[in-house]
Amino acid sequence: METSSIWLWVGFNVFVLGMLALDLGVFHRKAHVVSFKEAGIWSAVWIGLALLFNAGIWRFLGPQKGVEFLTGYLIEKSLSVDNIFVFALIFAYFAVPQEYQHRVLFWGILGALVMRAIFIAAGAALIANFHWIIYVFGAFLILTGIKMAFAPDKGLEPEKNPVVRLVRRLMPVTERYHGQKFFARENGALAATPLFLVLALVETTDLIFAVDSIPAIFAVTSDPFIVYTSNVFAILGLRSLYFLLAGVMSKFEYLKLGLAAILVFVGTKMAIVDLYKIPSAISLGVVAAILAVAIGASLLRARWREAAAAGEAAR
């Protein structure tokens, strides 16, 4: 049975807005460089809140919904790691000062929450009214996973991005940053700052990734509340995860292959749903195992390379 109580939706969204207000208005009121320790604490807070919410789902809506939420959260959290790599490239390209990066991610993720809510509502409506769309979503995820595994990484070229070109066409853009402002006045005219261009790219990046991640979670559950809440918790923790992992992403060499395998698995699960419905508990185990193998293999590979480099240096 799908979760449809209006009070659940209202209560959850009030909680999210309250946490966001607390985040920006209290803890990050002043621009500052987010330290590794601070990022670790906030990552633990968001993961802890997600698990606490998961316990509530399990207790009040039943074990099935609890497993569905945890599986969806794990899938969304793992797929969001790809965003982190792109965010790092964007910040490096535009030389965004570290103390302003949190502000960009805050507003970018706020926009992402709105866009994903629209995507989820549209996806739920399509599946409810056109059952065959499940096969389309499944095939799309399988093809996306295969492409992710075998397609070479492309260099980042923000200035060729159509969104950046559109912004430059619609309004002037300043050459320098004006603190953490997205807009500033130069020579009496209102202009966008480079920070606004970065925000536009971050929003565009999440929109592209949402096309993959939203169908993936519908392979786990068709309950809009579970889909939405697991997505929101994964997105809310993305900022702190970025500051925690951005500097060590190069160590996770096999993570992209792991994410590709997850997309192929959930796509297959969705494509065969009318032939055999893979239990949520098995889906959770498969996704967790794929992530564990990808991360473990990456860390072992990184350690082997470091040992090899140390050996070469000692010669």
Query: What is the pLDDT, as a whole number, of residue 1?
Result: 42
> Which residues partner with 173 through β-bridges?
192
Mean pLDDT, rounded, of the chain: 84
* Residue 269: half-sphere exposure toward Cβ, Cα within 13 Å: 23
Give CA–CA dist 167/238, Å, rounded: 26
Query: What is the pLDDT, as a whole number, of residue 259?
Result: 87
Query: What is the pLDDT, as a whole number, of residue 48?
Result: 93
Query: In percent, how much of the chain has pLDDT > 90?
Result: 16
Give per-residue pLDDT as tens, 95-104.
888 888 888 8
Angle at 43 between CA 49 and CA 155, to 5 degrees: 130
Query: What is the pLDDT, as a whole number, of residue 265?
Result: 92
- H or E segment and range at residue 189: strand 189-192
Tell me how many helices (H) and strands (E) the chain has: 11, 2
pLDDT band at 63 (very low <50, low <70, confident <90, very high): very high
Strands 183-186 and 189-192 come out as: antiparallel
pLDDT band at 67 (very low <50, low <70, confident <90, very high): very high
Question: Tokens representing 7?
Answer: 């009070």
- H or E segment and range at residue 226: helix 224-236
pLDDT band at 293 (very low <50, low <70, confident <90, very high): very high
pLDDT band at 264 (very low <50, low <70, confident <90, very high): very high
Mean local confidence (pLDDT), 193-217: 84
> Which residues partner with 189 through β-bridges?
186
Lowest-confidence region among 22-31, 96-105, 146-155, 301-310: 22-31
Does 147 score more than 70 pLDDT? Answer: yes
Q: How far is CA 309 from the centre of its chain?
A: 33
Q: Are 262 and 79 in contact (CB under 8 A)?
A: yes
Cα 59 to Cα 11, 28, 54, 56, distances in angstroms: 17, 34, 9, 5
Give CA–CA dist 201/190, Å, rounded: 20
Report the amino acid identity of residue 42.
Answer: W
Does 31 score more than 70 pLDDT? Answer: no
Does 154 score more than 70 pLDDT? Answer: no
Question: Helix, strand or coil for residue 20?
Answer: helix
Query: What is the pLDDT, as a whole number, of residue 158?
Result: 67
